[in-house]
Structure 1
Amino acid sequence: MDERQLRILRELGELGSVTAVAEALLVTPSAISQQLRLLQRSVKVPLTERDGRRLVLTDAGQALADAAIEVETALARARHTVEEFVDRPDGEVSVAAFHSAGAAFFPLLLRALAAPGAPVVGLADEDVAQEDFPRLTRVYDLVLAHRLDHAPPWPRTVTVTTLLHEPLDVAMPAGHPLAAKRRVTPSDVADEPWITVHDGFPVMATIEAIAAASGRRLHLAHRINEFAVAAEVVAAGGGLALMPRWTTRRHPALVLRPLSGVQASRCIDALYRPERTARRAVRTVLAELKSAARSIQGADD
């Protein structure tokens, strides 16, 4: 039995005929009769009987119709609770981000949502391989993920809102000979030692593209995922590194130079399951992330 069948039984008890129930529910009498037959199959005792030309409820049918009132009341209460949850402006919203995105977005997000009545955000850092970001949407409402331009798109199981399309520049010490150039090429940087990420992380594909464009195998001296740590190693003379232009805090001892000849940029996307944005609080946080992205990019203009 289901909610609709129970309602039909209740209406039959109150209105007294299949025709009257059909008119009240704006369906055909045959549709009402079909639902009553389906309901009867799930119950061992008769629910209706003929009284002349009328179809009336048996005692068992009346008992079930009375119970249907309780069912409808409970369902109405449950719907109201869900509606309040969905429309609540100050609900809790969980947000995960990889490290550099978290450093750039989290402070702006917290400041934007500091007023009373705003969503309450729970923040988490998740530094995972690109293919693992979509799985995080099972745990978090919103997941900030990065993907290189030429990488495969995100799976259709998640919805994607692109926040930033961020260039990746070559970071070097301010006194490095290449710092005098406005832009560098793969050939310029191919013979330098490199600080790069571990295999499976998005930036690694750009390192491979530099090697392919220069026709030389790069010397990967150090494997460091955290850009702030990599910046310190670059400053200490450990080699060159690719650095995001906007989301990584500028190091006073480094300069960033654009890279010509290869695609060197990444998308920072918000991933989420589509049903999450049914909640007003999640939509509010997503809007603030978009606003934060504009501020992050604008700060470099």
Structure 2
Amino acid sequence: MELHQLQILRELGTLGSVTAVADALRVTPSAVSQQLAALQRGFRTPLTRKEGRTLALTAAGHVLAAAGAEAIDAMAAARNALDEFEHESTGTVSVSGFHSVGQALFGPLLRDLAATAATPTVQLTDEDVAQSEFPALTARYDLVLAHRMEHSPPWPVQGIRALTLVREPLDVAVATTHPLAQRTSLTPADVAGERWVTSRVGYSPDDVLKAIAAVANVAPQVQHRINDYGAVAAVVAAGDAIGMLPRYTSRSVDDSDIVRLPLHGVGNHRMIDVLARPETLRRRSVRVVVEGLQRVMARLSE
């Protein structure tokens, strides 16, 4: 039983297919299958089973994967003991972020780190996925900027650490010519009957709109589904529909023709979190980047 075989087993449980594991670990699917077969030879109880055309973990496989995650973490602690002793903060740290948080944080993060001595090299990528898909990204990136609605289920705790950057409200956006533009705040009853531009299903604005519809007992009139907040603001400014914009991470949006209004009476806050593997957070270079993200977000939400 080798440590890299346990890592492959864990990734299979997380990512759900041999192909996805191969892609995350940058090896061939054949190599993944060979290592799983070699691991299986050390156990009488089956660790995997076929589910259609994919390979899944058995109950025994999940038990071994969980134990393997602890072993990987322990090995990472041993490997990083010397780095901790020498206060090593350089190296390369990969960061993925969904679109709006990338627009809001990536530039300020780079400037913040550039002002600090002996900082790591940061590699930035945008990954805008549905809430349920964020944890799997920790197999590919050191740090994953993720969002979830405050009332939704928390992130998985096995093999994942979550650090909250901010609790961000989503505000209703209307054109300056809209009758609601003169209000100081809104309730679900005020907006439920309006035409909406919202996000695709599985993203925060659509979750809030569903809550508005439930509280007001009015079916929402969804005219447009757009994930880019700049495009949402343009549609709102045209007077064709009203929408929702996150309060802190959409400040780059042009507000000259729209008005943002607080929404009360429904859960409309999303959590912006940093997700990472426990062993990844043991690296000082990674923690330096996390601290930079925390400083940038604190300034943004003032």
Instruction: List alignment gaps of at least 5 residues for structure 1.
Output: 1-78
Q: Is the 8 A contact 1:87 1:281 kept in 2?
A: no
Q: Retained in 2: the 8 A contact 1:194–1:220?
A: yes
Match in the other structure for 1:123 = 124
1:197 and 1:223 in contact (8 A); partners too: yes
SS in structure 1 opposite 2:279?
A: helix
Query: Are 1:142 and 2:143 an aligned pair?
Result: yes
The one-character-per-residue Cα deviations of 1:115-164 (angstroms, maximum 9, x if unpaired) are 45211100000000100000000111111101101111000131010001
Q: How does 1:256-275 map to 2 (within 5 A)?
A: 256-275=260-279
Structure 1 residues 51-75: Cα deviation after superposition (integer angstroms, max 9, x where no partner): xxxxxxxxxxxxxxxxxxxxxxxxx
Alignment check: 8 A CA contact 2:188 2:263 kept: yes
User: Counterpart in 1 of 2:99?
Assistant: 99
Contact 1:162 1:268 in 2 (8 A): yes
Matched position secondary structure for 1:150: coil
Q: CA separation in 2, counterparts of 1:88 and 1:181?
A: 53
Q: Distance in 2 between matches of 1:88 and 1:236?
A: 52
Q: Deviations over 1:187-230 (max 9, x none)?
A: 11112110011112233211101001111101000000111111
One of 275, 294, 298 as aligned partner of 2:298: 294
1:11-30, Cα deviation, whole Å (9 max, x unpaired): xxxxxxxxxxxxxxxxxxxx
| 2:166 alignment counterpart | 164
In 2: Cα distance, 1:131 partner to 1:111 partner: 31
Partner in structure 2 of residue 218 of structure 1: 220
Task: Give 1:88's aligned amino acid.
Answer: E
Q: Deviation digits for residues 4-47 of structure 1, max 9, x if unmatched? A: xxxxxxxxxxxxxxxxxxxxxxxxxxxxxxxxxxxxxxxxxxxx
Q: What RMSD, in angstroms, separates the aligned Cα atoms of the two structures? A: 1.8
Q: 1:194 to 1:80 in 2, by over 3 A?
A: closer
Residues in 2 aligned to 1:169 and 1:98: alpha-carbon distance in whole angstroms = 19
Partner Cα distance (1:209, 1:277) in 2 = 35
Inter-CA distance 223–287: structure 2 relative to 1 (3 Å threshold) = same
Partner of 1:277: 281
Question: For the Cα contact (< 8 Å) 2:167–2:270, is it kept in 1?
Answer: yes
Give the structure with higher Rg (CA): 1
Mapped partners of 2:87, 2:94: distance in 1: 17
**Match for residue 240 of structure 2 among 234, 238, 243:** 238
Distance 1:81 1:187, change over 3 A: closer
Residue equivalent to 1:155: 156
Residue 99 of structure 1: how far off its partner (Å) = 0.6
What's the counterpart of residue 207 of structure 1?
209
**Matched residue of 1:113: which SS?**
helix
Task: Describe the SS at the equivalent of 1:145.
Answer: strand
Deviation at 1:80, TM superposition (A): 8.1
AA aligned to 1:186 is P
Are the counterparts in 1 of residues 83 and 284 from structure 2 also a CA contact under 8 Å?
no
Letter matched to residue 290 of structure 1? Q
**Quick one: distance in 2 between partners of 1:146 and 1:80?**
31
Q: Is the 8 A contact 1:87 1:279 kept in 2?
A: no
Distance 1:80 1:191 in 2: 58
Question: TM-score of the superposition, structure 2-length normalised?
Answer: 0.70
Moved over 2 A (4+): 79-88
Q: Which amino acid aligns with 2:98?
A: F
Question: How high is the sequence identity, in percent, across the aligned residues?
Answer: 45
Alpha-carbon distance, 1:84 to partner = 4.7
Separation in structure 1 between the aligned mates of residue 125 and residue 80 of structure 2, nearest angstrom:
28
Contact 1:171 1:254 in 2 (8 A): yes
CA distance in 2, matches of 1:118, 1:274: 21
Residues 223 and 241, structure 2, Cα contact 8 Å, conserved in 1: yes
Report the CA distance between 1:238 and its aligned residue. Answer: 2.2
What is the deviation of 1:88?
A: 2.7
Gaps of 5+ in 2: 1-77
Q: Size of the alignment, in residue pairs?
A: 220
